[in-house]
């Protein structure tokens, strides 16, 4: 009966020691340098599978220096097919201020008396006053106020990949960028639909020209963990009705 808790305690101790092993590695001296290895075996460079266009069948003519289906002498380097890369420029500086105030009040009063009712008022008990049979009054009021003050400023660039070419020529793009500094990871995600005409000659496009744009910028790590409420507190905030 006591073997399971003991094993759990031992496992927790081993995990704690393994977590501290990295910090103890450079205790009193400089951190160890990673040995040189094949870049293909790095965790960040695993085998990548990306959307690729269908291979084109080139038509070649004997004794000709030019491709038969070529459209021009100079190649357009802008993204135009599945698998191409386009740079998205995000220069967002937005500010919004909203204030709402609501005030409502209502009052009502009703009274009923029967000083004379075919002489039947004489049959009422002595404790009943015919002049004050019914007297009803109500009063309600409500006041609400709210304000929003938001300011955002994001400036960055991210490379996105063309994942689909729609029948009308528009292209679906998606991209992700991650950057880790010490124990904090910053992540940027972007997706949407763009027009080939909006891509500049430098193969860039501004974020406001992306239809159905989905832009997410955030991070995770030690600092983010401290800023977020604990899981138990979040659960209580959801289930507690008061």
Please give the distance of CA 48 from its chain centroid, rounded to a whole number: 25
Q: Which residue has the higher pLDDT, 31 or 82?
A: 82
Whether the per-residue pLDDT at 198 is higher than 90: the answer is: yes
Predicted local distance difference test score (pLDDT) of residue 130: 64
pLDDT per position as a tens digit, 130-189? 666 666 777 777 787 878 777 778 888 999 999 999 999 999 999 999 888 888 888 899
Percent of the chain with pLDDT over 70: 66
Residue 20 makes CB contacts below 8 A (sequence gap 6+) with none
Residue 76 tokens, joined: 């357009």
Residue 24 tokens, joined: 């103890």
Whether the per-residue pLDDT at 228 is higher than 60: the answer is: yes
Name the band, by pLDDT with cuts 50, 70 and 90, for residue 203: very high
Whether the per-residue pLDDT at 15 is higher than 60: the answer is: no
Collapsed DSSP state (helix, strand, coil) of residue 142: strand
Whether the per-residue pLDDT at 86 is higher than 60: the answer is: yes
Task: Return mean pLDDT, the chain.
Answer: 77
Predicted local distance difference test score (pLDDT) of residue 211: 93
Q: Cβ distance 192 to 173 under 8 Å?
A: yes
Whether the per-residue pLDDT at 19 is higher than 60: the answer is: no
Q: Cβ distance 121 to 130 under 8 Å?
A: yes
- Write down the H helix ranges in the chain: 3-25, 222-227, 231-239
Average pLDDT estimate for 47-61: 72
Return the number of other C-beta atoms located less than 10 Å from residue 223's C-beta: 12
With 0-12 / 13-18 / 19 or more C-beta atoms within 10 angstroms meaning exposed / middle / buried, residue 196 is middle
Which of the listed ranges 108-112, 121-125, 222-226 does the model predict with the highest average pLDDT? 222-226
Residue 11 tokens, joined: 């496992």
Whole-angstrom Cα distance, residue 160 to residue 83? 10
Percent of the chain with pLDDT over 90: 21
Whole-angstrom Cα distance, residue 92 to residue 217? 12
Tell me the Ramachandran region of residue 136: left when phi exceeds 0, alpha when psi lies from -120 to 50, beta otherwise: beta
Q: Cβ distance 191 to 213 under 8 Å?
A: yes
Residue 176 tokens, joined: 């992700």
């Amino acid at each position: 009966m006591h073997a399971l808790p003991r094993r759990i305690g031992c496992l927790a101790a081993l995990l704690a020691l393994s977590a501290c092993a990295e910090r103890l590695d450079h205790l009193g001296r400089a951190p160890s340098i990673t040995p040189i290895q094949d870049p293909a075996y790095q965790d960040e460079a695993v085998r990548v599978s990306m959307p690729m266009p269908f291979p084109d069948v080139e038509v070649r003519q004997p004794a000709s220096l030019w491709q038969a289906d070529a459209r021009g002498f100079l190649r357009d380097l802008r993204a135009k097919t599945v698998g191409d890369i386009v740079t998205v420029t995000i220069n967002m500086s937005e500010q919004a201020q909203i204030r709402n105030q609501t005030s409502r009040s209502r009052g009502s009063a009703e009274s009923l008396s029967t000083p004379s009712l075919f002489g039947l008022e004489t049959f009422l008990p002595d404790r009943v006053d015919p002049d004050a049979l019914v007297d009803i009054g109500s009063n309600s009021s409500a006041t609400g106020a709210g304000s929003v003050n938001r300011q955002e400023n994001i400036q960055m660039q991210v490379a996105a990949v063309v994942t689909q070419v729609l029948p009308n020529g528009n292209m679906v793009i998606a991209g992700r960028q991650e950057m880790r500094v010490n124990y904090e990871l910053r992540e940027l995600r972007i997706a949407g639909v763009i027009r080939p005409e909006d891509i500049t000659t430098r193969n860039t496009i501004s974020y406001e020209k992306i239809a159905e744009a989905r832009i997410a910028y955030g991070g995770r790590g030690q600092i983010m963990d401290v800023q977020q409420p604990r899981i138990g507190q979040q659960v209580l905030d959801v289930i507690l009705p008061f």
